[in-house]
Chain A
Amino acid sequence: MVALIAYIADTMTYVGIFGLLTISLNLEAGYTRLMNFGKVAFFAVGAYVSALLTVSGAPFLAGLVGGMLVAGLLGLLIAIPTLKLREDYLAITTIAAAEIIRLILLNENSYGLGPMGIRGIPKPLSGLFGPSGYPLVYMALVWACLIVWLLISQRIISSPFGRVLRAIREDEVATESLGKDVFLFKTKSLVLGSCMAGAAGSLFAHYTSFVSPDMFMPLLTFSVWTMLIVGGTANNYGAILGAFLIQMFERSTRILKDLVDMPSGAQVNLRWIVIGLLMVIFLMYKPHGVLGERKGKVTPR
């Protein structure tokens, strides 16, 4: 019973972390059509900054905020040269940036970086709760963070600011010709999305209490994209639902290994094949996902 609760808590913690990552991608891609194919970089930066800060003695909250800020800064750094270009350039630049970040984390040997990763990242509040109750506590912490960011995100989307983002998604030239500084709006969207991804990274690091460069492979980006596409682009509840569905799927394939005999490695590869297939099927037959965008309601009527 305790094991089952711990398992459910563990699952929901991951759903929360990936849900946060998916709504951050949704702000960028679903609402602003910023094709960020380097999501994992911002996640990794959040995780590493938070890990490094707390390992050297800073409190968890400082790690979380630090991770968000540095990830946001990385977003700004990428925004400045690329957001004036056509959308496909952002896709290419972000893939490259994500790999550069990962290779730096892998090959840099000072500051405690390198292939061995960082161990012993403190678990916040673990002193106050026993090991049996802790998974539930951490799950609650993750979901509290998710809900805060969800509320922030919903407010942004329902505001005139969010309306401009959606207009940019629909037609950049027309938005510009109405006097909106498209570059500035896109930059803000990317920086906000990056902060959110940084928060998710920090929550991830403090949960696993260990991070290493091979946790942040490009595949993770595509996993988040699949969550968004399956759950529903331009709908934050859809994004969280997508994170839940894909997490469930990934976990069920882990259990499948015990039931069906297959060569080692086949199960992991099979999982990615099915995820890729799911993405294609949804893009072809249900491009807006399980929950698509709802018709925009104007706040006061």
Chain B
Amino acid sequence: MSLLRVDGVSKNFGGLKALDRVSLETQPSTIVGLIGPNGSGKTTLINVVTGQYRADGGTVLFSGQEITDLQPHEVATKRLVRSFQIVRVFPRMTVLENMLVAPRGQSGEGLLSVFAKWAKVVAQERELVQRALDLLRFLEIDHLSDEYAANLSGGQQKLLELGRSLMSEPLMILLDEPVAGVNPTLARKIFEKIVELRNGGMTFLVVEHNVDIIMNFCENIYVLSKGQVVAKGTPAEIQNDRKVIDAYLGG
């Protein structure tokens, strides 16, 4: 059974068909690539799936449940989270605090527990700090845990955003250009981490312009153009698809 299933989703902005009956599915524990020219609707699709935009038609299913009209925070509680094309870390909070915002079901987020069950809140906090530090170590930014997120480099902020998503223990992460503006070495490293997480059972949908990376790391690729899926298949199939070469890859 597919984990995420997008079925005939449309989204219009005035007269512009940003998404035109887009269908897509991802199997659990895979990395699926989403490519296409600028303005082809990749980010719009992510925004519709995660509830930032409301679909004008079609359905979105996650883990067999319909999530089409849910609010962004409700989608996230279904354990489907996203990252942003332009990083959105919390600049005037430390790296560790950024990580700790994410976990779901923190008892200390209820005002009653903050006053009535402080010991429980502190105990839970201790566990979360441990998990956050472990994750930061995995992402190799643990030495920055007490630094303001604003002081991190662009690439480090991308890693932090990935780490923050992971703190919410998602089943699937939608990554919107996770290595845009990141140097090739770090970009490769970020994708190696993603593969490691995939091997651990996580599922990814990745929007990326770096064709090398997409071809190397994705099991399946969807190609969007002008709001429509024009091709889907394995990297090898996509690379030889005439329509894709014309619309996107060139050559």
> Which residues of A are interface residues toward B (Cβ below 8 A)?
152, 155-156, 159-161, 163-164, 166-167, 170-171, 173-182, 188, 192, 293, 295-296, 298-301
Contacts and interface: CB of A to CB of B under 8 A. Distances in A.
A170 B93 contact: yes
Interface string B64-89: 00000001111011000110100011
B126 A167 contact: no
B115 interface: yes
B81 A301 contact: no
A180 B77 CA distance: 8
Contact of B90 (A174, A181, A192, A300): A174
B94 interface: yes
B245 interface: no
B235 to A, nearest CB: 29
A177 B106 contact: no
Interface in B95-154: 96-97, 100-102, 104, 106-111, 114-115, 118, 121-122, 125-126, 129, 146, 148
Contact of A177 (B82, B121, B125): B82
A155 B115 contact: yes
A160 B108 contact: yes
Nearest to B91: A170
A300 B125 contact: yes
Given A156-B114, A159-B121, A298 B109 contact: no
B102 A178 contact: yes
A296 B122 contact: no
A179 B71 CA distance: 9
Contacts of B102: 178-179
Contact of B101 (A152, A164, A299): A164
Given A171-B90, A174-B90, A177-B76, A160 B97 contact: no
Given A178-B168, A295-B146, A171 B88 contact: yes
15 contacts: A159-B108, A160-B100, A160-B114, A160-B125, A161-B110, A163-B100, A166-B93, A173-B88, A178-B164, A178-B168, A188-B111, A296-B94, A298-B96, A300-B129, A301-B129
B85 to A, nearest CB: 12
Given A179-B73, A300-B125, A160 B106 contact: yes
B188 interface: no
Given A160-B109, A160-B114, 15 more contacts: A155-B118, A159-B109, A160-B100, A167-B101, A171-B88, A174-B84, A178-B102, A179-B74, A179-B168, A180-B73, A180-B101, A188-B111, A293-B92, A295-B94, A300-B126
A209 B122 CA distance: 44
A163 B168 CA distance: 15
Contacts of A182: 73
B43 interface: no
Contacts of A178: 73, 76, 81, 101-102, 164-165, 168
A296 B93 contact: yes
Given A173-B52, A174-B90, A177-B72, A296 B97 contact: yes
A212 B91 CA distance: 44
Contacts of B10: none
- If over half of A's interface residues share one DSSP class (helix, strand or loop), that class is named, otherwise mixed; here it is helix
A267 B80 CA distance: 61
A160 B84 CA distance: 23
B50 interface: yes
Nearest to B148: A295
Nearest to B90: A170
A279 B120 CA distance: 42
A181 B75 CA distance: 11
B108 A161 contact: yes
Contact of B111 (A161, A163, A170): A161
B111 A298 contact: no
Given A161-B108, A174-B88, A295-B146, A181 B94 contact: no
A300 B122 contact: yes
Nearest to A192: B111
Nearest to A234: B92
Most buried by A among B101, B102, B146: B101
Contacts of A177: 50, 52, 72-73, 76, 81-82, 84
A176 B106 CA distance: 15
Most buried by B among A159, A166, A188, A301: A159
Contacts of B115: 152, 155
Given A175-B101, A298-B100, A298-B125, A161 B94 contact: no
A295 to B, nearest CB: 6
Nearest to A288: B92
Interface in B139-178: 146, 148, 164-165, 168
B230 to A, nearest CB: 28
B109 A164 contact: yes
